[in-house]
Amino acid sequence: MDFLGAFTPDNLIFLLKGFYVTLKVAFISIIFSFIIGGALGTIRFTKIPIVSNIAAVLVETIRNLPLLLIILFTYFALPEIGINLGITVSAIVALTIFESAMLAEIVRGGLISIEKGQMEAARSSGLSYIQALRLVILPQALRRMVPNLVSQFISLLKDTSLAVVIALPELLHHAKIIQAQELSYVIPIFLLIALMYFVVNFALSLIAKRLELKSA
Amino acid sequence: MISFGHVNKYYGDFHVLKDIDLTIKTGEVVVIIGPSGSGKSTLLRCINRLETITDGSLTVKDVHLNDKKTDINKVRRKIGMVFQHFNLYPHKTVLENIMLAPINALGISKEEAKKTAEFYLDKVGIPDKATSFPSQLSGGQQQRVAIARGLAMKPEIMLFDEPTSALDPEMVGEVLDVMKALAEEGMTMVVVTHEMGFAKEVGDRIVFIDQGKILEEAAPVEFFENPKEERAQVFLSRILNH
Ligand SMILES: Nc1ncnc2c1ncn2[C@@H]1O[C@H](COP(=O)(O)OP(=O)(O)O)[C@@H](O)[C@H]1O
Ligand SMILES: [Mg+2]
């Protein structure tokens, strides 16, 4: 097997381009899903009638669907009703929908984990419910959520590879193109992209550990 | 200042407060005692509507707490509360803990809030802990910060729910001293406690509650020397021989 032969400059650049798309799509989806998931999780936590129930139904529905289905739906089904998002946006939308639901549960769990006395102390000092949430409960909950959030971000980064089914030009897609040229490239290219995913995700989890130690 | 009129409260089917009639005057220190589970905390927490009453009337400064139109946040700004487990905000420094409500609920400036916070921290005897986090303080110090946090709102009423029950014995005194000083300055106080020495010395009136009912209400000397109710006698003998 011609191991090093697979790593031509062209191939390496092509893989890096794919990895760039992976990181870009993941990053954008993380930002959006953090905002949407944070809002959904908080709304569900508040138990405000109707609004909170709607959030719960949304979250539970999405959480129980396979991500692959959501990606395929966004790309193949939405155009049927006139919504044509294109490959990249479809991938971002699908990932954002799915991850928002996952993050909503993490955020809600973090909020629930804060002792009841914190809310009572804040409210009894005359702060409104929203103020108590914003100034007292959320900051503490976010600190507690860091490890779970980061591991969800890592999942998201890995899940980006599922968008290979709609030919998103991300790392796995580019790897498959290279592998199709030459059978002997299959193993070395797989090993290389495995290393790329690993390095980034492992770095993220190290950062998470750091943050965890700091906030403890 | 505070007036309960035929107040009942249920948790589901459980009748936790039974026909409570109680009036607390400005500047009075009322000590609520009674066995565990008798409804002391619930009674206290009704005063700032951490718990809502089921029926009857409850007014604070002539404002009806169970009136839907009442702006409860406004009422609460006049009532400080100190909890058994301090409930300080762990992510904020001591000074930030004290400044949070004055800035956000009263809308006063940061500089002003800081001055007030430092004043009350000095008053409870730990001016040097301003930049510490709660986790770096002893239980007694944390509870004194909690009292300073309540006072920084310049309340007219202070509620205490077993403020020394979670403390190591050697720290009980420092917290009771702060409360005693507060009482001497004329603060209206409602205190749930098992510290009978404090009740006797500082209390203007003792309210004995059992199974959600006020069984006896008397001046401390009268209550401790000559409790009328049998259940109060049993309670006292148990707690004093402890
Ligand atoms: N949120 C609640 N739901 C149901 N029962 C409660 C709740 N809070 C307190 N209780 C019950 O009400 C009774 C009085 O409680 P509490 O006021 O905390 O008593 P105390 O402070 O005198 O020990 C207890 O039997 C307690 O179990
Ligand atoms: Mg209690």
Whether residue A143 has pLDDT greater than 80: yes
The minimum-distance atom of ligand 1 relative to the CA of B36 is: 23
Q: Which of A124, A128, A133, A138 should we substitute to test contact with B (largest number of B Cβ atoms within 10 Å)?
A: A124
Confidence of residue A215 (pLDDT cuts 50, 70, 90): low
How confident is the model at residue B101, as a pLDDT? 96
Whether residue A1 has pLDDT greater than 70: no
How confident is the model at residue B228, as a pLDDT? 86
B-chain residues near A121 (CB < 8 A): 81, 83, 87-89, 146
How confident is the model at residue A47, as a pLDDT? 86
Question: Does B105 contact A115 at a Cβ distance shorter than 8 Å?
Answer: no
User: What does the domain layout of chain A look like in residue ranges?
Assistant: 3-215
Question: Does B105 contact A124 at a Cβ distance shorter than 8 Å?
Answer: no
Question: Does B100 contact A124 at a Cβ distance shorter than 8 Å?
Answer: no
Q: Which of A124, A135, A139 sits opposite B76 (nearest CB)?
A: A124
User: What does the domain layout of chain B look like in residue ranges?
Assistant: 2-240
Q: Beta strand pairing status for B205-210 and B188-192?
A: unpaired
Residue B55 CB partners (closer than 8 Å, separation 6+): B6, B7, B8
Whether residue A216 has pLDDT greater than 70: no
Distance B43 CA to ligand 2 centre (A): 9
How confident is the model at residue A210, as a pLDDT? 84
- Do residues A106 and A148 lie in contact, with contact meaning Cβ atoms separated by under 8 Å? yes
Is domain A3-215 in CATH 1.10.3720.10, yes or no?
Answer: yes
- Do residues B111 and B129 lie in contact, with contact meaning Cβ atoms separated by under 8 Å? no
Give the pLDDT mean for A126-140: 95
Q: What's the token pair of residue A39?
A: 């809002």
A 21-40 residues inside an 8 A Cβ radius of B:
none
Give the pLDDT mean for A135-163: 92
- Tell me which residue has its CA closest to atom 7 in ligand 1: B11
Report the distance separating Cα B183 and Cα B197, nearest Å: 15
A-chain residues near B80 (CB < 8 A): 124-125
What's the gap in Å between the CA of B91 and the closest CA on chain A? 6
B-chain residues near A135 (CB < 8 A): 100, 104
Report the distance separating Cα B52 and Cα B39, nearest Å: 13
- Tell me which residue has its CA closest to atom 8 in ligand 1: B42
Report the distance separating Cα A74 and Cα A96, nearest Å: 11
CATH code linked to domain B2-240 = 3.40.50.300
Instruction: Name the residue with higher pLDDT: A31 or A147.
Output: A31
- Do residues A44 and A106 lie in contact, with contact meaning Cβ atoms separated by under 8 Å? no
Report the distance separating Cα A211 and Cα B113, nearest Å: 31
Whether residue A2 has pLDDT greater than 70: no
Question: Does B80 contact A125 at a Cβ distance shorter than 8 Å?
Answer: yes
Q: Worst-scoring range by mean pLDDT, A104-113, A127-136, A139-148?
A: A139-148
Burial B220-242 (b: 16+ CB within 10 A, else e): beebbeebeeebbeebbeeeeee
Ligand 1 residue neighbourhood (C-beta within 6 Å)? B 11, 14, 16, 34, 36-42
pTM for the model stands at 0.87
pLDDT tens digits, one per residue of A70-90: 999 999 999 999 999 999 999
Report the distance separating Cα B140 and Cα B210, nearest Å: 29
**Listed residue (B55, B69, B79) closest to B4, CA to CA:** B55
Residue B158 CB partners (closer than 8 Å, separation 6+): B79, B80, B81, B82, B147, B150, B151, B182, B187, B188, B189, B190
* % of chain A exceeding 90 in pLDDT: 83
| pLDDT in single tens digits along all 242 residues of chain B | 999 999 999 999 999 999 999 999 999 999 999 999 999 999 999 999 999 999 999 999 999 998 889 999 999 999 999 999 999 999 999 999 999 999 999 999 999 999 999 999 999 999 999 999 999 999 999 999 999 999 999 999 999 999 999 999 999 999 999 999 999 999 999 999 999 999 999 999 999 999 999 999 999 999 988 888 888 888 888 887 76
Report the distance separating Cα A85 and Cα A90, nearest Å: 5
